Chain A
């Protein structure tokens, strides 16, 4: 090797040695970037494929949607008989798991509203349908749905949402709560409003249209959400609230991940099937629903306790009411303080 090349190579080595290793990128940040990019890529490539799909292939959807709406109009209710592959039949994008109070359903191609009550669940929803819940008062309604893919969606009272697809909803009044932790498949979801769009990045969050101010408010309990307004976007992280005004102004705040702001979601939470469920499954469900952190005062009891199976008896209870029924049945007691539920040993006091 010539002398100049040797010197230059030494210089390269000295530079790299002096600079040290390249800084690692935080895994969470890289994951968030990749997740957002994947969603955008999916939309772009799906849109391309839809644009090039032969016209004839699109025509069959209208007759099927019409048939679905006729079934609902004539039969009154389309009962889910259990077991169909999710989203595989007739444009079904969601299933109503629970109705509390009064609600109504407008199927995409039928102008009439169907009145719904608790006994109408479970009920399949086709794309384009609009679901509305009665506002406050004795008939105030709330609805819990499971979207195709497994994401949990809940509507507060006085809400109206159009299900454009299993991954896209249009909120025109009230509030929805989204929990993607229950999803079987990584399936991004977006909530569209007249003010902006909230896109999840794997999370539990609420999107609310604030009637008094005409603003859109996004509150994140876990994970992260991207909020878009035109070309502007902002990321909302766990325990943060972002208020987006119609003029695009964004204001941030912080909010607890348990307690009053989330209480309404507990009142319409899908019931937990406690038949032969393990304590571990129950505690995971409880933590996910309430935002509490569940700990054992004596860690040595935890492994044994979590493997125990519980049976029945809590399907009629809201999540935050269940510890009073479950924990004593295990021979334990508990203490709930500042969002931390501590399981106490047999001699512990509440």
Chain B
């Protein structure tokens, strides 16, 4: 039931290779595929601070670009990028960067003032747990190939029948069924890895790689 994802690994390596060779379409595809999931990942770890998340992600992807030549596809590309993002977040807080905002109208060189704190989570425990679970589900979907995540959302969020899912994905009905089956399997694998904090694998027979 668990899919061989060597094809996915090869597709990621090919995307990276083409992008580094100057293929603009590959560069656009890279951004369209990975930036939104990375942003959500950063927001989730920065207590919802979207401004900081944006800056962190921008720094992450620029730095990652220079390291991508060493990407060998042993880990899913999103996992590799998330690791880079985690490092960037850690560096940010280690630097203890204080970037204060000052009063309006002050045109002289301003004095330092207090750093605004990131948004505080102040909610009943139940809603906090639900939020964290939802975040985990969303990150699991983000870790899937985009067409897998899309198929699952069409099925479970938009509650579309298979024939309409097939139409949306430009597939025949049997192919759509197959995608849904593989997507569910991939989701279960990623979900259980995260829940049990196991190091992710590429599937049956795949090598161990870092999260």
Q: Footprint of B on A, CB under 8 Å? A: 5, 8-9, 12-13, 15-23, 25-26, 29-30, 32-34, 36-38, 40-41, 44-45, 48-49, 210, 213, 215, 217, 226, 232-235, 241, 243, 250-256, 260-261
Q: Which residues of B contact A33 (CB under 8 A)?
A: 31, 35, 39, 54, 57-58, 61
The reply to whether A232 and B54 form a contact with Cβ atoms under 8 Å apart is no
Is there an interface contact between A22 and B57, defined as CB atoms closer than 8 Å?
A: no
- Given known contacts A9-B184, A48-B22, A251-B112, A15 and B31 CB-to-CB distance under 8 angstroms: no
Chain A CB within 8 A of B110 CB: yes
Distance, CA A250 to CA B115, complexed state (A):
12
Chain B 1-19, CB-CB to A under 8 Å as 1, else 0, gives 1000000000000000001
Tell me how far the C-beta of B121 lies from the nearest C-beta in chain A, rounded to whole angstroms.
15
Shortest A5–chain B CB gap in Å is: 7
- Report Cα–Cα, A241/B99, bound state, in Å: 12
**Interface contact A13-B61, CB-CB below 8 Å:** no
Give the contacting residue for B27; candidates A29, A38, A261; CB below 8 A: A38
Asked whether, in the complex, the Cβ of B66 is within 8 Å of the Cβ of A44, the reply is: yes
Q: Which residues of B contact A16 (CB under 8 A)?
A: 137, 141, 152-153, 156-157, 187
Given contacts A12-B184, A13-B155, A22-B142, contact A251 B31 (CB under 8 A): no
Q: Does B101 contact A (CB under 8 A)?
A: yes
A261 to B108, CA, bound (A): 11
Pick the residue among A12, A34, A48, A233 that contacts B31 (CB under 8 A).
Answer: A34
B128 at the interface (CB under 8 A from A): no
Determine whether the beta carbon of B110 is less than 8 Å from that of A243.
yes
Measured in the bound complex, the distance between the Cα atoms of B153 and A13 in whole Å is 9
Taking the nearest CB of chain B, how far is it from the CB of A15, in angstroms? 5
Q: Complex: how many Å from CA A253 to CA B108?
A: 9
Closest-by-CB residue of B relative to A226 is B58
Contact yes or no, A37 B101, CB < 8 A: no
Asked if B62 lies at the interface with its beta carbon under 8 angstroms from chain A, I say yes
| Also in contact, A252 and B100, with CB within 8 A (given A15-B191, A18-B134) | yes
Q: Are A252 and B102 in contact (CB under 8 A)?
A: yes
For the complex formed, measure the closest distance between the CB of B210 and the CB atoms of chain A, giving whole angstroms: 23
Give chain B's interface secondary structure class: helix
Instruction: Report the minimum CB–CB distance from A239 to chain B (whole Å).
Output: 9
Given contacts A25-B36, A252-B100, contact A5 B65 (CB under 8 A): no
| A253 partner, pick from B102, B133, B134, B191, beta carbons under 8 A | B102
Over the window 94-135 of chain B, the binary record of Cβ atoms lying under 8 Å from chain A Cβ atoms (1 yes, 0 no) is 010101111111110111100000000000000000100110
Inter-chain contact B100/A251, CB cutoff 8 Å = yes
- CB of B27 within 8 A of CB of A12, answer no
A18-B134, A20-B157, A22-B142 known; A210 and B54 CB under 8 Å? Answer: no
Decide if B147 is an interface residue (CB 8 Å cutoff): no
Count contacts between A and B, CB distance < 8 Å: 142
Smallest CB gap from A5: residue in B: B1
Chain A residue with the shortest CB-CB distance to B101: A252
Q: When the two chains form their complex, are residues A41 and B66 in contact, meaning their CB atoms are under 8 A apart?
A: no
User: Nearest chain B CB to A59's CB is how many angstroms away?
Assistant: 24
B59 contacts the other chain (CB 8 A): yes
Contacts of A26 in B (CB 8 A): 50
> Chain B contacts of A32 at CB under 8 A?
54, 58
Report A-chain residues with C-beta under 8 Å of the C-beta of B43: 23
Query: Are the C-beta atoms of A17 and B157 separated by less than 8 Å?
Result: yes
A22-B149, A29-B39, A251-B110 are known; give 9 further A-B pairs, CB within 8 A: A12-B191, A16-B153, A19-B137, A29-B54, A30-B39, A33-B54, A232-B95, A252-B101, A254-B101
Per a CB cutoff under 8 Å, which of B35, B104, B111, B156 touches A13? Answer: B156
Which residues from A are CB-within-8-Å of B198?
A: none
Which residues of A have CB within 8 Å of B184? 8-9, 12
Given the complex of chains A and B, what is the CA–CA distance between A303 and B134 in angstroms? Answer: 48
Q: Which residues of A contact B157 (CB under 8 A)?
A: 16-17, 20-21
Kindly state whether residue B179 has any CB partner on chain A within 8 Å: no
Residue of A whose beta carbon sits closest to that of B134:
A19
Q: Which residue on chain A has the smallest CB distance to residue B95?
A: A232
Which of chain A's residues has its CB closest to B43's CB?
A23
Query: Does B79 touch A at the CB level, under 8 Å?
Result: no
B32, closest chain A residue (CB): A34
> A260: which B residues are within 8 A, CB to CB?
107
Would B99 and A250 count as touching, CB distance under 8 A?
yes
* Bound-state Cα–Cα, A41 to B55, Å: 17
Nearest-Cβ distance from residue B195 to partner chain A, whole angstroms: 11
User: Most chain-B CB neighbours within 10 Å: which of A20, A233, A253, A254?
Assistant: A253
CB contacts (< 8 Å) of A232 on chain B: these are: 95, 97
- Judge if B211 is at the interface, Cβ distance under 8 Å: no
State the CA gap A37–B153 with chains docked (Å). 29
Contacting pair B55 A234 (CB below 8 A): yes
B102 CB contact (under 8 Å) in A21, A48, A210, A254: A254
Task: Across the A-B interface, give the 3 residue pairs with the lowest CB-CB distance, nearest first.
Answer: A19-B137, A19-B134, A45-B22
Q: Which residue of A lies closest to B187 (CB)?
A: A12
In the bound assembly, the distance between CA atoms of A289 and B196 in angstroms comes to 58
